[in-house]
Structure 1
Amino acid sequence: MLAAAIFAGSLTLTSCMDDIESPDLPPAAYVSIFQGATDAPAMDIYANQNRVNQNPLEYAQILPYSAFYPGTRDFRFSAFNSATSLLEKDLVLAADSVYSIFVANEAEGIDAILTKDVWEEPTAEKAQLRFVHLSSDAANVNLEVADSDVSVAEGVAFKSVSGFMEVEPGNVKLAVKSTSTGETLIQSGTLELKGNRVYTLVLRGMQAETTGDKKLDIQLVTNFVNY
């Protein structure tokens, strides 16, 4: 459980402190935020008026898991140093749960997709991988292990998040293919997936862009390592 891992260090007491009671930790949810909106500026992010990022969050950057008060939280996404909101959205967080927020383009503005992160206890024999579709001009896609018939996720639509799937650890190339035509839209270089780890592969950028930071790309994120 990620929550236990986050606080494992804070709960360890030395022998000379055995007779001191540790304070109860307040209930919390744990949230990461990925900025996948190509058209958005560097952003400040707030939850109920509390700024959650120390530095402006740029495109393709991620805020790692951190603790949030549970309940309905008013998330506000603004351009850096701006009082004007790009998006305000109420998101409900449950105590002792783990979430990711993915920021994506909309026809006008941006959207924030909240997903609960649920994976199996990682083992050395398997890696776990899920797929997130944040490319607004790409239709439904499949994620496959290149040059094989191994499918990781099928028919994934824009702003959708697949479940975590166990995959063999090792060096792999992953291909994103059009569901309708089978055409390979983009393929990764060689990626090393390790056991005891949980990953997310993000499809981001735009098919219409052929150069620069906004072109179609894939990005591998490590969610959790079972040390």
Structure 2
Amino acid sequence: MEISNNLKNISKAFIAAVTISVALSACSKRNDPQSVPATVVSVVNASPNVKELDFIIGGQRWNTDPFKFGTTLDYVGFYPGAFRIGIVERGKNTYLLSKDLVYQASKYYSTFLIDTGTNRSFLTVIDNLDSPATSTKARVRFLNLSPDASPLILAVKGGTTDLFTNKAYKAVSAFTEVEAGDNVAFEIKDNATKAVLTTVPGTKLEQGKYYTIYAKGYKDKSDTDPLKFGANIYIAKNK
């Protein structure tokens, strides 16, 4: 996983929109003496808030469209190192929240903006995307990012066995294998009562690919509230 020296700094990396496919295509150029190992990062807004934000890394705005609740910014590859990440109100420059992080070479990361108010923070995890190319199954992981949720269960709808159980707030599962299919739905359930709290609609799961499902929003909000409890699913870009 490498990125060539024609990207001199983090600004050019974002201006050039170095997506995962571009960053990782350089993996085949290992004999290029000007290549260096890349770090690859995606960012998700799981903070239940109606404000429109911008996500900042290394002094640069990552997003083009507003970084709203439920938004996922796809993997981008750039030079590894220490960066200040943060959020600002849309179009402004004053940090509402910032944090200094070190993104290491040859690793994939997901950084989640979680919670609200004085509890708002960043949660960063390393993504292990190392399944064999011959895998006939998809891989799924689950995060409980609902601030007021009790421990949760994730299950394939209609399945006989739960995928993950007793996932408290901020808990992050490992990826696990799931049968690929054209219309696979998931249920998120309360760990204590087993009641179904929300359903992730049928999604095409492709073999060898990785999917993240996360619980979001507030359980105490009404069904018409945009910040109500729910779930999102997104796919990691191809390696």
Q: Is the aligned partner of 1:127 residue 2:99?
A: no
The one-character-per-residue Cα deviations of 1:168-187 (angstroms, maximum 9, x if unpaired) are: 11132211111122111112
Alpha carbons of structure 1 residues 38 and 125: separation in structure 2 relative to 1, 3 Å? same
Does the CA-based 8 Å contact 2:38-2:77 persist in structure 1? Answer: yes
Tell me which residue corresponds to 1:177: 189
Indicate conservation of the 8 Å contact 1:123/1:196, yes or no.
yes
The one-letter code of the counterpart of 1:166 is E
C-alpha displacement of 1:118: 0.4
Q: Displacement, 1:31?
A: 0.3
Distance 1:106 1:168, change over 3 A: same
Which deviates more, 28-37 or 187-196? 187-196
Structure 1, 102-111 or 25-34: larger mean CA deviation: 102-111
SS in 2 for 1:148: coil
C-alpha change, 1:156 and 1:123, in structure 2 (3 Å) is: farther
Partner residue in 1 for 2:207: 195
**Distance in 2 of aligned mates of 1:130 and 1:101:** 15
TM superposition shift of 1:58: 1.6
Q: Which residue is 1:113 aligned to?
A: 123
Q: CA deviation at 1:219?
A: 1.4
User: SS at 1:44's partner residue?
Assistant: strand
Q: What SS class does the counterpart of residue 218 from structure 2 fall into?
A: coil
| Other-structure match for 1:53 | 63
Residue 108 of structure 1 aligns to a residue in which SS?
A: helix
- Number of the residue aligned with 2:49: 39
Task: Give the alignment's Cα RMSD to 1 decimal.
Answer: 2.5
The aligned residue for residue 227 of structure 2 is 214
SS at match of 2:118: coil
Quote the residue 1:223 is aligned against: 236
Q: Report whether the alignment pairs 1:65 with 2:70.
A: no
Structure 1: gaps (5+ residues): 14-20
Q: Cα distance, 1:80 vs. partner?
A: 0.8
SS at match of 1:137: coil
Residue 167 of structure 2 aligns with which residue?
Answer: 156
Q: Percent identity?
A: 27
Question: What TM-score do you get using the length of structure 2 for normalisation?
Answer: 0.81
Indicate conservation of the 8 Å contact 1:91/1:114, yes or no. Answer: no
Equivalent residue number for residue 11 of structure 2: none
- Conserved in 2, the CA contact under 8 Å of 1:141 and 1:154? yes
Letter in 2 for 1:131: F
Letter in 1 for 2:137: K
Residue equivalent to 1:28: 38
Count of aligned positions: 219
Distance 1:56 1:24 in 2: 35
Q: Hey, what does 1:17 align to over in structure 2? A: none
69-78 vs 117-126, which moves further? 117-126
In the alignment, the residues of structure 2 paired with residue 47 and residue 106 of structure 1 have an alpha-carbon distance, to the nearest angstrom, of 20
Are 1:172 and 1:192, in contact at CA under 8 Å, matched by a contact in 2?
A: yes
